[in-house]
Copies of this chain bind each other. A is one copy, B any other.
Amino acid sequence: MDAPDDTATERADAASNRARLLDAAARLIAERGAEHVTMQSVAEAAGVGKGTLFRRFGDRAGLLLALLGEAEAEFQEAYTEGPPPLGPGAPAGERLEAFGCALIERVAAGADLGAALGRQVLHERRQASDTGRAFHRHVSTLLKEAGVDGDQDMLAHALLAYANFETTDYLHVGCGVPVPRLQSTWVHLVRLVTQIGGP
């Protein structure tokens, strides 16, 4: 391995190492479920020592949070800058439909990681709350853009209460409701709420 001779190269190496560790962790979680993924198994899969993993992420919860943070950053980019209808360019109502469907899909797909985090990183409320605030800003902005009458801020909370992790996880994992059924109720709700000049 070439010795890096400047800070930029060092930084790029660190970033690519970090990405490699997170990739390994994500792969193992998909295969085994987050509950069964240990720091040891991630270190082995990534071909590094366990010490490297602990130095980088602090502990297992830190690794899981880093993974969740990556997923959230990607999703945020998709709904703020990505292609329509999730990103800008489509009418507000269609963007709202796409946003909720993507959110439900994502929660259902990541239920395992999310649930593991919920059980294990109970006090990391701040992060969930930052994400929650970004979601709320997005939905209430689109409701206003769609010309919805009434208390758009509260309506955004109401819509998001349906699409949030607790509700979706309870309905999908707990009650076996398939993702498409959850999504079509979201679409139904958005259409009810966005019909201009409603009751």
Contact = CB atoms under 8 A, between A and B. Distances in A.
Contact of A181 (B151, B171, B195, B199): B151
> Which interface class (under 10, 10 to 19, 20 to 34, 35 or more) fits A?
20 to 34
Contact of A158 (B155, B157, B189): B189
A167 B154 CA distance: 11
A134 to B, nearest CB: 15
Interface string A183-199: 01100110111010011
Contacts of A158: 161-162, 185, 189
A184 B189 CA distance: 17
A188 to B, nearest CB: 5
A164 interface: yes
A192 B198 CA distance: 7
Contacts of A166: 166
Given A191-B199, A192-B199, A193-B192, A157 B151 contact: no
Contacts of A157: 162, 167, 171, 185
A182 interface: yes
A150 B199 contact: no
Interface of A: 150-151, 154-155, 157-158, 161-162, 164, 166-167, 171, 177, 181-182, 184-185, 188-189, 191-193, 195, 198-199
